[in-house]
Each structure stands twice: as structure tokens, then as C-alpha cells.
Amino acid sequence: MRHAHTVDQVRDAEAALMATLPPGSLMQRAAFGLASAVIDLLGGSYGRRVLLLVGPGDNGGDALYAGALLARRGAVVEAWPMAEQCHPGGLAALRAAGGRPVDDCAHPPDVVVDGIVGIGGRPGLRPAAADAWLRATAHGAPVVAVDVPSGVDVDSGRLEGPHVVADLTVTFGTHKVAHLVDPAAAACGAVHLVDLGLEMPPAGIESLQPGDVAALLPRPRPDAHKYARGVVGVRAGSPTYPGAAVLCVAGAGAGLAGMVRYDGPVADAVRAAHPEVIAGPGQVQAWVVGSGAADHAAQLLAESLADQVPVVVDADALDHLPDRFPSPAVLTPHAGELARMLGVPRRLVEAEQLAHARAAAERFGAVVLLKGRHSLTAEPGGRVRVTTTGTPWLATAGAGDVLAGLIGALMASGLEPFEAASVGSWLHGAAATLASAGGPLTAGPVAEAVGAVVRHLPTAG
């Protein structure tokens, strides 16, 4: 599991560790990890031109000490201070190693190291720092951020005002919220974690890794039969959108549950595409309702809630939510749908995704999966999982229908809503990446690739 901690949690852990170490040891560890990452990015250090943008805090010190290490490895290192004072020990180390301070970007660098503001900085860069960053990157050099890109809101993932956009972020001790939660996560580029040996408390935000998915995924027992593995019901589609029902059933029938039952208005289209599906009313362990349901959505949701089994509520059914759910529920909105659910502008949801996903989970007493580049699964109480699998090609019609079906199958097979939504989202993104192979895809192959993703998971246990 990848964990993301808040600024206060990180500071407390760093203070506890520094109390046991000689002064400056933690910064030296961070600087070594940073310098090593820069060398890896450049493919070497000798003769490479490195420009450090240095603020007054410890992130500037990390950058300066890393610059000293790079200078001793043959790099041409220049430090551009963003304040009247910068870390005195780091600056002395840089000068002793042959680096030098500058007051502009006179030569195009091979890499720019952003050490302007650390995790305690406020969102947005001051005008002088924003101008320096633009001048330093004008020739297209890659940017390495120290801990976080300067100017992002570390604990919320918000972006407010000018900020650094990094190709690589080298962070220390643990991931921070901004590394996982958009829109800030999109400014981080690739994230490399340097282990400092911090003892961290439990994190409220986490991200599943393949081993976690393997451990959570329900697998059939040797004596399993189709009913024991769970029956997932689908109430989706309409004469206007029959394909939504077909794709939702494809996700539900990707092999994660024992049987799929379809009870909706386009049974002929579903049977034609999926002859193994049972059509008509009957008992299920979970319902998936709403995908492409159009004018049928309210009725289908009411029927599903009356059964008092876990339910996945998608698409059109999200416009007909009860104040509270009588049984466990997963809601799967995109940003526009979540905005309607909460009565706020879409731009606010997109700007503060974490806050709004958590607010919706509390408001409806249900698990909320806010779909996006990094989808957020939030449950009442504040715990959140971030999905980092996927590909931009997954932004295609019908992909959400497949996802809803996958989550329903996982709930029918025994997973609790939070686990089902986060595991389903992870599998959906991984299957899309596999099916895409770097190119365009449509929704159907995403469902077809789920089996191959599961086969390639590490052995659980």
C-alpha cells in the first residue's frame, strides 16, 4: 500500500527521528537521494549543467547539498536564490564543491531543480519566483521538484495561482497528499520516494498496489459453484441507450462473480451480446443500477433499493438519490455528476476533488468513487483511496458502464463497498492500460482484459 500523509504528520515524524540523529543527518540523507535521482534522470552528471532554484527553507538546503554532491561528480552547478537568505550550510557546501550562486539564468540548463518552497509553503508562487521558474524552464529543460512542486497545496491537492510543473518529484520519508490527489498530482510528474526511516502514523489517504489487490480480490474456493461466488444484478440501459446495458453487463460478467442477472428494458440486446446472462427478476447479492437508464432510472433505483442488498449507483440514477441509503451503496459520479449531487459548480469539484468526494460520502452515507485521472474512493469518516492505474485513452464512452459492473460483481462476491470500489477502480485502470497497449481503445476490450490482469497479479499471501 502506498500511503500519503499530511504536513503535520510528516513534521512530527521528522522531529522524532532528528532527535535521535546527529544534526544535519536527515538533510544529508535527503540530499543524497535527490542527487542520485537527478543523475539517473540525466544519465550521468559529468559536464551536465544544473540550475538550482533555491528558497530560504529546508527544501532549498536539500537542493544546495544535492548540488554540492553533483558538483563533486563533475556537474556545472549554479544556484539562483529566491530570497535574500538561503540555507547557509548548504550554500557553503555548494561553493566548496565548485558551484556558485547566480542572479539569473544566463545559460540553458540540462535540468532545473525546484527547491523554492517546501511542504509548509502556501499555495501559489510569489511573482518573482514564478518569473524565475518561467525563465529557467524557457529552453525546455526537465524540472525536478524537491519534495513537492513549489506552489501546490500539499494537504488538499488544490492548485491556486502560479506553481511549478515538474517532470519528476523526489519526495522524502513518505508520500504527501499532493502526490496522489489531482489537480496537484498532475503537476508532480513521476514521483520518486527516498526512504528516510521515518516512523509514520496511519494515513487517511492510500493507494492500492498490485500486491494489495491480489490480497483483497475474492477467489473461488475449490468447492465453489456459481451461486456461492455471488450473483450480481444489473438494472441499466434503455431503448435510447441499449449499449450502456451491454457494457455494464460486460463489466459485471468479467469473471469476478459467479453469475449475472439482467433485469431491465433491453433484455434482447443484452442476451444477444452475452448469452450466459440470466434475464428477468430474481435474487441477487448486489445490484448495479443507472448506466444509460434515462427515464427508467428512478424506477430501477427504487426497485433495487427495495431489495435491501448492496447497490452500485451510476450515471442517470445519481439524479434520484435518497437522503440516506437503506443498504450499503457505492456511488460512481464523474465531476459534473458530483457537482449536481452537491449543488456546487463543476469547477469547484475539479479544483478540490478530495474535499468534495469526502463531503459527498458524508452527505449520502455511502462510498463515493469520484472518477477522474486519479479516481478517489471515499467512505464516510474520511478514509480515501486513490487509483493511479489507467491511461488517458480510458476517457471513452462506455468505460464508466464497465466500471460500475466490475464494482457490482466484487460486491456480489463478498467485498465491502469501500474495498469493492477501490479494487474495481484499480482493475479497471490496469485492464485499460493492458488493452490499450499505448493506443486508442473502446470500452468493450477493457472488460475483456480484466481476466488477464488478474492472472498477472502477484500471488496473494
Assigned C-alpha cell, 431: 485492464
Other CB atoms within 10 Å distance of the CB of residue 411: 32
Query: Which residues of the chain are modeled with pLDDT < 70?
Result: 460-461
Please give the full DSSP string across 179-226, using - where no structure is assigned.
HHSTTGGGGT-EEEEEP--------SEEE--HHHHHHHS----TT--T
Give me the residue label for grid cell 478530495: 354
Cα-Cα-Cα-Cα torsion 87, 92, 93, 95, nearest 10 degrees, comes to: 120
Q: Which pLDDT belongs to residue 461? A: 54
C-alpha cell of 230?
455471488
Same fold, 2-200 and 210-455: no
pLDDT for 427 = 98
C-alpha angle 407-410-411 in degrees, rounded to nearest 5: 90
Burial class (CB in 10 A: 0-12, 13-18, 19+), 216: middle
* pLDDT computed for residue 460 by the predictor: 57
Domains in the chain: boundaries: 2-200, 210-455
Q: In CATH, what number does 2-200 get?
A: 3.40.50.10260
3-state secondary structure of 152: strand
CB atoms closer than 10 angstroms to residue 449: 22
Instruction: Give the containing element (helix H, strand E) for 175.
Output: strand 175-176
Q: Is the dihedral of CA 172, 132, 120, 383 positive or negative?
A: negative
Give the position of cell 544544473. Answer: 50
CA separation for the pair 434, 181 (Å, rounded): 23
CATH class of 210-455: alpha beta
- The whole-number pLDDT of residue 118 equals 87
Phi, psi of 426, rounded to the nearest 5 degrees? -65, -50
Rounded Cα gap, residues 263 and 282, in angstroms: 8
Q: Which of 175, 183, 131, 176 is nearest to 159 (CA)?
A: 183
Round to whole Å and give the CA distance between 413 and 227: 9
pTM: 0.95
Cis peptide before 183 (omega within 30 of 0): yes
3-state secondary structure of 80: strand
Q: What is the pLDDT of residue 380?
A: 97
Condensed to tens digits (0 to 9), the pLDDT of residues 150-194 reads: 999 999 999 999 999 999 999 999 999 999 999 999 999 999 999
CA distance 221 to 192: 39
